[in-house]
């Protein structure tokens, strides 16, 4: 979801800096990427469950822009916060990745190594018991 919002805000910032109006940009994006607007519910008028989600904040910025207020600075700030959130998610995932990668080690290799080390002891014990 954050990557889609990132691309969406980059497109909006680029078109606003190029001199296009927000309304014409949104209409062009709706025609081009209709699935984005329907799946992510951008520009819907209902209240979200949490008013602190990225989609809700973008919705507020776009409503301000459609009412005629300047939103370029707000979009750029929003864009930088999305980048920070994506960087945090990447960093968090990279911290967890080594531990997740060790799961197959414990499931498959550790029992095999235990058998290799314990088998000679069991074999020696059985040989002594047979005598």
Sign of torsion over alpha carbons 88, 39, 23, 63: negative
Is 53 found in the same domain as 89?
Answer: yes
Q: How many distinct structural domains can be found in the chain?
A: 2
**Of residues 34 and 127, which shows the higher confidence score?**
127
**Of residues 1 and 123, which shows the higher confidence score?**
123
Q: Which domain holds residue 7?
A: 2-97
Rounded Cα distance between 28 and 36, Å, is 13
Rounded Cα distance between 85 and 91, Å, is 10
Is 104 found in the same domain as 58?
Answer: no
Mean pLDDT of 91-117: 90
pLDDT (tens digit, 9 = 90+) per residue, 9-67?
898 999 999 999 988 888 888 887 756 655 555 555 444 444 557 778 888 898 999 89
pLDDT of residue 72: 92
Is 58 found in the same domain as 6?
Answer: yes
Neighbours of 5 (CB within 10 A): 21
C-alpha distance from residue 9 to each of 4, 80, 91, 97, 99 (Å): 9, 10, 22, 30, 35
Is 116 found in the same domain as 92?
Answer: no
Q: Is residue 22 within 8 Å of residue 66, measured between CB atoms?
A: yes
Is 122 found in the same domain as 78?
Answer: no
112 pLDDT above the threshold of 90: no
Is 110 found in the same domain as 92?
Answer: no
pLDDT of residue 35: 60
């Amino acid at each position: 979801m954050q990557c889609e919002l990132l691309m969406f805000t980059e497109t909006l910032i680029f078109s606003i800096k190029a001199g296009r109006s927000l309304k014409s940009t949104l209409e062009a994006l709706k025609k081009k990427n209709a699935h984005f607007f329907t799946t992510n519910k951008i520009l819907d008028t209902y209240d979200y469950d949490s008013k602190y989600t990225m989609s809700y904040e973008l919705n507020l910025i776009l409503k301000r822009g459609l009412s005629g207020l300047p939103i370029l600075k707000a979009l750029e700030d929003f864009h930088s916060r999305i980048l920070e959130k994506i960087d945090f998610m990447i960093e968090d995932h990279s911290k967890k990745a080594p531990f997740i990668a060790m799961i197959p080690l414990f499931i498959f290799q550790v029992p095999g190594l235990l058998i290799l080390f314990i088998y000679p002891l069991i074999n020696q014990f059985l040989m002594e018991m047979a005598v």
